[in-house]
Amino acid sequence: MDIHPIKTENDYESSLQEIEKLWGSPTDSPDGEKLDILLVLVEDYEEKHYPIAPPDPIEAIKFRMEQSGLSRKDLEPLLGSRGRVSEIFSKKRDLSLNMIRKLHNDLHIPLESLVN
């Protein structure tokens, strides 16, 4: 098994190609074990070189609204008056802890997406 740390973009690309070849290998086989190790190495490299920023809370809410077919009016019981909803969407007002709890509990938006 010829595995080494991923230090360069070239190493990264080679590892991705190897993962593609090994994909679907039985878990308890030498190829399956090699695949597991390469996946950990690639994930570590990607976290360091291609970090993904957490979503903007308002974008997370909009995404959930789109998924659920909700309008801004539907958020009033969770966020307050129509004016309050507008202030939040225009980023003139931050979400309160109580609003975050309601959005999380009622719309199942992950807490990590609502706290910035």
User: Would you kindly state where each structural domain of the chain is located, as residue ranges?
Assistant: 9-49, 57-114
DSSP label at residue 93 = S
What pLDDT, on a 0 to 100 scale, did the predictor assign at position 115?
A: 87
What's the predicted TM-score (pTM) here? 0.59
pLDDT tens-digit series, residues 51-67? 988 789 999 999 999 99
Nearest-Å Rg of the Cα atoms of the chain is: 22
Please give the Cα distance from 87 to 81 (Å, whole number): 10
**Alpha helices for 1-116 (secondary structure H):** 9-22, 30-49, 57-68, 72-79, 82-89, 97-107, 111-114
* 99 contacts 78 by C-beta, under 8 angstroms: yes
Residue 82 corresponds to which tokens in the numbers above? 């129509």
What pLDDT, on a 0 to 100 scale, did the predictor assign at position 69?
A: 96
Task: Just give the CATH number of 57-114.
Answer: 1.10.260.40
State whether residue 98 is helix, strand or coil.
Answer: helix
